[in-house]
Amino acid sequence: MSMVEIKIVTGKSKEAAKVLKLLQQAHAVVSEVKRAGEDVKQGIVIEAYLTKESIGRLESEGVAVQVIRDLSESKDPRTFVSKENRFRDALEKLRQTRRR
Amino acid sequence: MPGKYLNIEEVKTKLELICLQYGDICECELIQLPYATSGEKNTDIIKEINNNDYYEITGIDNDDYYVNSGVKAGVKDCWAIRIKAGFSTPRHGILMIGGVHGEEWGSTDILVYFVESMLQAYHDHADLVLGSKTYLAAEVKEVLESLEIFVVPLVNPDGRAFSYSEGLDEWNRDRNLWRKNRTATTTPDYGVDLNRNYDWLFDYKAHMHQDTYNGNRPCELLNGGISDDPKEDNYQGPSAFSEPETRNVEYLLNQYPNIRFFVDVHCATELGLIGYPWFDDDPQNDDFLMDFRNESYNEFRGIRQKGTSWFWCPGCDDCASQLVAPLYREYMAKEDEERYKEIGKEMVSAIQAVRGTVYEVRRGNQLVWYSEVADAIDYAFSRHKTSPESGKVDALVIEWGPYGEWLQDWPECTNKFQPLYEEPPGIDRMTPVILDVSAGLTALCKTALRVPLIRLTPNPLDFGMVVRGGNVQRCVSLTNLSTQHVKILWTKIEPTSPAPVVKIISANAGVMVTPGQSETLLVGFSPVSDVDDIEAQLLVGLQYETESIIQDVRSVKLHGMGDLVSAFYQAMSFRPRHSQDISRLETLCHSEFTLTIDCPQFEALSQGLSLSEFLRKIRVWHVQSLRITEDHRSPMTGSLITSHVMIRIRTLGNKEYKARCRIRFTLQKASGRWYINAADIQVLETEEI
């Protein structure tokens, strides 16, 4: 199930609350909620990560969803995680030095 | 700079390495925290291990699978590092935690880098260079030789391990966005949001207005902050401190009472933020009775008046139009708030000097768009209010972020929680953040140096029986444990319960306390109104002689029994003797207390009344004489005060009666004065033993 990043621009707080509830039910990860302008009347922008499958459910509730990007097309962040223990050798070496 | 996120095993190895490398020049202790994580075991984790090329099963013992270097899979130990250079003692402690949320990978790396870079600069007698911000070698030396630093870089190893692993979570999402720990809660749900598992307003449905979580008031949206549904990402857990990870943090706060500062490093998405308590509601500095301990406000907490919600207002027409009275706002002493702002300002300034990134200082409930409770920093700061033996802990949260429009600035990043972190010639968006936050943490340490290191004894101070019009004087000793002169700016007494008007007898302002010396502060109570219990704080404002002012307030809890209780006893011919474990009457406002009364003639005095009827009779008598002055009620709404009392009456022959009561007072103004207009004493249960 691939994930997408979405953006939803809602009206005022009642609508935002409804959208947030729907996102909660869809187990979306809400990454940002911000005012569209200085005034809330100008709308509220909600950004979130969720599965592609969930978009249909949101749209069926009348929520206009903009897909910002498909995360499967981005680099997998796990590639930024060290795959080995980079400090094990140094630790072992230091331990041996201290034993002497 | 490592150039890749630390994996789970590396975090511990790196800490061990730091201890070995720098153990000769300072105390570097690796502390194994007492509670191993309780994440998923066996089959699930084995599947993960098999999918990971850097974990290798090396043994099985009692159904726990060991991977590389003997680390148990799914049952992981948590580690802290304690650093202390030089020989000065005592000193303030700073506790820094990170890696609380599984998907916020960078927080752990920030803290490990911070520790290593500080120690390396200290070792080399070199300046600490963080981008364009430089801390001189002498500044690093002063920090490490004057403070004791505790760092838990990875509070939630199971959550991070799960977030690192391939595949989907229980909700078909990529695991890399996993936030909680991996406690098996209710099948098939996993995980507790550790930053909603602390003992501060944990039972939010009891403490908060129902509209904050039932969706009736869209502007309140507490549901965005906490949930009691295990399926949710912000599930709070079955009880406060149900999780080993939060118990580990509590353990450190208990074990090291010198910890004066606490910082929790998180990742916000777009803005860099520094937050301070409180998270439940708007703050105010006037009404000390309106605070999280006061059960009378349980029905009102969290609801804001139209036009006052920082996020949704102005401009929102959706707020319910009617005002929910009383309007609740969480109390914080003005000096405390000013100090938080000052600390935050210095951190912001240091961060900005690195590469120009602008962080914002915000109070808790303005940090993000939702309110929250049961979080770490509110718990840490609340401890000095809930348990007199706990010292004050200034608690802050750092929410690091990339700033500005994410997609514009970091288009290549996969998501907002995990910036690209590649070795050269790859793209590295994490290292600049590490430098930013390290500068902020160093600034916090430097600020901590300016907070006076003093001891006030005794604490608490028990005045015993105080009667109206009488003066009782006691001495409090202020010892200057710092290396600089400390000037007493002012002293004052602030009642923390529905207290009498008290006249302070104290003339300590302007006194200079030299290093290592003690000064005696004369403190006096002179109640000028009837009270049945006194609880107050002696507040001392302090300033270092040679540094810029950091307003700080230290407190001594003052207890006394007023003449109302005394009269009550006399009228009933009782001679009070408090139970052994409760040595005093607790504050009316905030606590449940036990009162044990030896009354051999109870049956005769009660004249055939049941215990319940008897207690109501007492209440009618003593409440009518209580008068409240303007100064000691809520300036906004009037105060409601609720108290619980367990009354135990022992009669001749060791017969014993017990009654658990709830008392609720309502204050009202009449003829220019405030009175207890109504007192609802509900006897919850009685028992004859």
Q: Which residues of A touch B311 (CB under 8 A)?
A: 35, 40
Nearest to A13 among B5, B171, B316 (CB): B316
Q: What is the pLDDT of residues A25-50, one digit of tens each?
A: 888 998 888 888 877 778 889 989 99
Q: What is the pLDDT of residues B228-279, one digit of tens each?
A: 988 889 999 999 999 999 999 999 999 998 999 999 999 976 678 999 999 9
Window 35-94 of A, Cβ < 8 Å to B: 35, 39-42, 47, 49-51, 53, 68, 71, 74-88, 90-91, 94
Q: What is the pLDDT of residues A67-97, one digit of tens each?
A: 988 888 888 899 999 988 999 999 999 999 8
Hey, are the CB atoms on B2 and A82 less than 8 Å from each other?
A: yes
Q: Distance (Å, rounded) from C-alpha A54 to C-alpha B60?
A: 40
Q: Is the ipTM above a cut-off of 0.85?
A: yes
Q: Distance (Å, rounded) from C-alpha B684 to C-alpha B689?
A: 16
Three-state secondary structure call for residue A91:
helix
Distance of CA B640 to the CA centre of its chain: 24
DSSP state of B360: E
CA distances in angstroms from B90 to B259, B454, B459, listed in the order given:
11, 10, 18
Candidate from A73-87, B337-351, B400-414, B605-619 with smallest mean pLDDT = B605-619
Q: Strand A3-10 to strand B552-561: parallel, antiparallel, or no bridges (unpaired)?
A: unpaired
Structure tokens at A91: 């630790």
Q: Distance (Å, rounded) from C-alpha B574 to C-alpha A42?
A: 68
Instruction: Give the pLDDT mean for B299-308.
Output: 76
Hey, are the CB atoms on B231 and A51 less than 8 Å from each other?
A: no
Question: How open is the CA angle A23-B105-B123, to the nearest 5 degrees?
Answer: 155
Q: What is the dihedral of CA B242, B245, B249, B254, to 10 degrees?
A: 50
CA distances in angstroms from B466 to A57, B142, B276, B538, listed in the order given:
67, 46, 37, 16
Sign of CA dihedral B222, B161, B438, B140: positive
Q: Strand B656-670 to strand A29-35: parallel, antiparallel, or no bridges (unpaired)?
A: unpaired
What is the widest separation between alpha-carbon atoms in chain A? Answer: 72
CA distances in angstroms from B469 to B526, B623, B633, listed in the order given:
6, 19, 21
Structure tokens at B181: 């720990």
Q: Distance (Å, rounded) from C-alpha B657 to C-alpha A25?
A: 52
Three-state secondary structure call for residue B413:
coil
Q: Distance (Å, rounded) from C-alpha A83 to C-alpha B5?
A: 9
What pLDDT is stored for residue B583 in this prediction?
23
Q: What is the pLDDT of residues B367-390, one digit of tens each?
A: 877 778 999 999 999 998 876 567
What pLDDT is stored for residue B629 in this prediction?
40
The strand pairing partners of A92, in sequence order, are: none
Q: Which residue does chain B place closest to A6, by CA atoms?
A: B415
Q: Distance (Å, rounded) from C-alpha B106 to C-alpha B606?
A: 67
Hey, are the CB atoms on A87 and B417 less than 8 Å from each other?
A: no
Instruction: Give the pLDDT mean for B163-171.
Output: 86
Candidate from B22-26, B104-108, B660-664 with smallest mean pLDDT = B660-664
**What pTM value is reported for the model?**
0.78
**B603 vs B456, more confident:** B456
Candidate from B282-286, B312-316, B464-468 with smallest mean pLDDT = B464-468
B121 neighbors B415 (Cβ within 8 angstroms): no
Q: Which residues of B touch A71 (CB under 8 A)?
A: 174, 414-415
Q: Residues in chain A, how many?
A: 100
Q: Distance (Å, rounded) from C-alpha B682 to C-alpha B644?
A: 10
Hey, are the CB atoms on A13 and B218 less than 8 Å from each other?
A: yes
| Res. B594: pLDDT tops 70 | no
Hey, are the CB atoms on B171 and A27 less than 8 Å from each other?
A: yes
Q: Which residues of B touch A25 (CB under 8 A)?
A: none
Candidate from B44-58, B411-425, B566-580 with smallest mean pLDDT = B566-580
**B75 vs B414, more confident:** B414
Residues 6 or more apart whose Cβ sits within 8 Å of residue B570? none
Three-state secondary structure call for residue B486:
strand
